[in-house]
Amino acid sequence: MWTLALACAFFLCIHLMVPGTTLKEQIIGGIGATAYYILFGLFSIVGIVWMSVAFIIALGNQDGLNHVFWSAPLFLRIIALVGNFIAVLLAVLGLLTPSPTNLLSLRRPPDKTVYGVIRISRHPILAGIGLWALIHLVCNGNLASWMFFGSLLAVCAIGANNIDRKRMARMGEMYASVKKRTSIVPFVAIIEGRTAFIPDELGYARMFLAASVFAVLAVLHELLFAIRAL
């Protein structure tokens, strides 16, 4: 458990204390932007691998430190399965859809700034991972899960706001218009009438791929993560 706590602290520090601060600018000034992003990516990979290994070890330990608070009933796990499908859909569609919030937009903004999955969330990848983490946090009532999934949820929530702030500073009115018509939390802008939901824009091929990824993860969940999906 202490190893998991250290891994979560490391992951949170590199994602919340460096990006969006003067420390990042100082590092870039010293080693250059390319080297910074390479190092940041490597540290991120090390952090998530460390967290994942420590999490698996913490779940298997019988030392009593991983306190179990509760066990999710069947109906909640069924709801979670639906929620996880939406989470995978958001993440996969976010990877495959041009967006004003991804790194590629810094070189060339997409022709359509509010399009497809961006209507659901302007940060679809972070929203998908965050939703997945929230669902697993609720359904796994033990301390190790709360530390692991809580850390991921915090990075997604604060990271989305950091990206918004940086895009506003760089893109100005164009990004302000995007913010007015979209939301971070999925479907909020659609419910509030700030944008329309147009399923055809999501792309049938992309949706089929997302559904396939979810199906594979659901079927192989026990093999991959040592616990059944349902």
pLDDT confidence bin for 63, thresholds 50/70/90: low
As to burial, measured by CB atoms within 10 angstroms (0-12 exposed, 13-18 middle, 19+ buried), residue 41 is: exposed
72 and 152 housed in the same domain: yes
CB–CB of 4/148 below 8 Å?
yes
Only one residue has tokens 């859809």, namely 97
| Eight-class DSSP state of 182 | -
* 134/70: higher pLDDT: 134
Residues 99 and 209 in one domain: yes
Output the CA torsion sign for 95, 11, 165, 146: positive
Do 93 and 182 touch, CB atoms closer than 8 A? no
Average pLDDT, rounded, for the chain: 88
- Work out whether the CA dihedral 149, 138, 213, 227 comes out positive or negative: positive
Residue 190 and residue 90 in one domain: yes
Is residue 103's pLDDT more than 80? Answer: no
The answer to whether residues 95 and 156 belong to one domain is: yes
Whether residue 38 contacts residue 181, with contact meaning beta carbons closer than 8 Å, is answered with: no
Of 179, 180, 185, 186, nearest to 164 by C-alpha is 179
Start-to-end C-alpha separation, the chain: 26
Domain boundary among 24, 40, 66: 66
pLDDT, position 33? 76
Token pair listed for 213: 């990824």
pLDDT band of 230, cuts 50, 70, 90: low
Query: Same domain for 136 and 207?
Result: yes
Alpha helix stretches (DSSP H) within the chain: 2-16, 22-31, 33-60, 74-96, 124-139, 143-171, 173-181, 188-191, 204-219, 221-225
pLDDT tens for each residue of 129-184 = 999 999 999 999 899 999 999 999 999 999 899 889 888 988 889 899 999 999 99
Q: What is the per-residue pLDDT for 223?
A: 76
Residue 40, pLDDT above cutoff 90: no
How much is the pLDDT for 200? 92
Same domain, 185 and 211: yes
Element containing residue 141 per DSSP (H, E) = strand 140-142
Three-class SS of residue 70?
strand
**DSSP-based three-state secondary structure for 111:** coil
On the question of pLDDT at 126 being above 80, the answer is yes
User: Are residue 185 and residue 110 in the same domain, yes or no?
Assistant: yes
pLDDT for 20? 63
Same domain, 229 and 134: yes
* Tens of pLDDT, residues 205-222: 999 999 999 999 988 887
What is the pTM assigned to this prediction? 0.89
Q: Looking at the structure, do residues 179 and 76 belong to the same domain, yes or no? A: yes
- Domain total for the chain? 2
Which of the residue ranges 76-80, 90-94, 98-102 has the most confident prediction, judged by mean pLDDT? 90-94
- DSSP 3-state assignment of 47? helix
Domain that holds residue 50: 1-66
